[in-house]
Amino acid sequence: MSRPHEDRERHTSVDHRPGGLPTSFTVGEWIAVGLARVKADRNDACVAAYETLVEQARTSNVHAGPAVVLSSDKGTRVLVMVGVRGHDGFRHLSAAWDDNHRFEHHRVISESVSFALYNVAAAVGESAIDPATHDAYEFERVERPVSHVAELFASAGASPEFRGATLLVGDAPDATIIISRFAHIAAYGAFRSSRAATNALGSVGESGDTSFAAHARKTFALAGA
């Protein structure tokens, strides 16, 4: 975990206490998504590293937008999502985080890292990330374009425990992320096994990629929000 004096040396005041305002991403917004695989005993350190990087990006000429940091329930994944100004904003953020030793942090803290640009293709319901909620979030990344989005959301909405969802489409069209919010994570399993979800996202585990239940650790809303 970063130490207070290290943050001061970088001229950035970082509050590592969990919390923040409910934060959502609007349709059409570009999002930089970082995903780190970590050992459970390094989870908090990875979360703190991302919090520091996000705060630096918000107070620099990168002009980062709203951001969220989530951690998987098992403590083996850390997810960061940062609003950026399109491809140029993503390049500036990547360069800034490299300059601030993002990879040095990750060599120490994480086993592997991905960092890519996505666009918010659709959102429905209460899709905000809220550290104060008792709702459960499910992150899933699939390696295929997603069609039948209306049917997908209609199927999710059929569950009384469904709260909302956000669909992100990668800069490469064969990469898709869906972040779903349910009152209880078990309800996500029922939705994910539905015909509509299978048609849109493929079978569970089909891509061999990432899916995990998560909770919000920190959110960074727009200034003045």
Q: What is the pLDDT of residue 11?
A: 45
Task: Quickly list H helices, the chain.
Answer: 4-9, 43-58, 86-99, 102-109, 149-157, 185-192, 195-201
Tell how many helices (H) and how many strands (E) occur in the chain.
7, 8
Considering the domain boundaries, does residue 88 fall inside one? yes
| pLDDT tens digits along 125-156 | 998 999 999 999 999 998 877 878 888 898 89
Burial of 127 (0-12, 13-18, 19+ CB in 10 A): buried
Tell me if 63 is assigned to some domain: yes
Lowest mean pLDDT among 27-31, 73-77, 109-113, 187-191: 109-113
If pLDDT is split at 50, 70 and 90, which confidence band does 3 have? very low
Say if 61 falls within a structural domain: yes
Q: If DSSP codes are grouped into helix, strand and coil, which group holds residue 225?
A: coil
pLDDT the model gives residue 6: 41
Note whether residue 17 is domain-resident.
no
How many residues are listed for the chain in this entry? Answer: 225
Query: Is residue 150, in this structure, part of any structural domain at all?
Result: yes
- pLDDT at 104 exceeding the cut of 60: no
Which pLDDT value is given to residue 97? 81
CA distances from residue 143 to 43, 85, 192, 201, 217 in whole angstroms, order as listed: 26, 24, 16, 9, 26
Among 48-57, 63-72, 143-152, which is the least confidently predicted range? 143-152
Give me the CATH number covering residue 80.
3.30.70.100
Give me the domain span that covers residue 204.
28-220
Looking at the chain, the whole-number percentage of residues with pLDDT higher than 90 is: 40
Name the pairing type of β-strands 110-125 and 136-142. unpaired
Please say if the pLDDT value at position 122 is more than 80: yes
Instruction: Check whether 209 has a pLDDT greater than 80.
Output: no
Kindly report the average pLDDT of the chain as a whole number.
83
* Dihedral sign of CA atoms 122, 160, 202, 150 in order: negative
Number of structural domains, the chain?
Answer: 1
The answer to whether residue 16 is domain-embedded is: no
Question: pTM of the predicted model, to two decimals?
Answer: 0.85
Quote the pLDDT of residue 106.
52
- Non-local (6+) Cβ contacts of 119 within 8 A are 28, 29, 30, 31, 168, 169, 170, 171
Widest distance between CA atoms in the chain: 53
Helices (H), 59-184: 86-99, 102-109, 149-157
Q: Is residue 35 part of a domain?
A: yes
Q: What is the pLDDT of residue 38?
A: 87
Summarised one tens digit per residue, pLDDT across range 22-39 is: 999 999 999 999 998 888
- Residue 19 domain-assigned? no
Terminal-residue alpha carbon distance, the chain: 28
Do the Cβ atoms of 48 and 218 come closer than 8 Å?
A: no
> Which residues have C-beta within 8 Å of that of residue 28, sequence separation ≥ 6?
119, 120
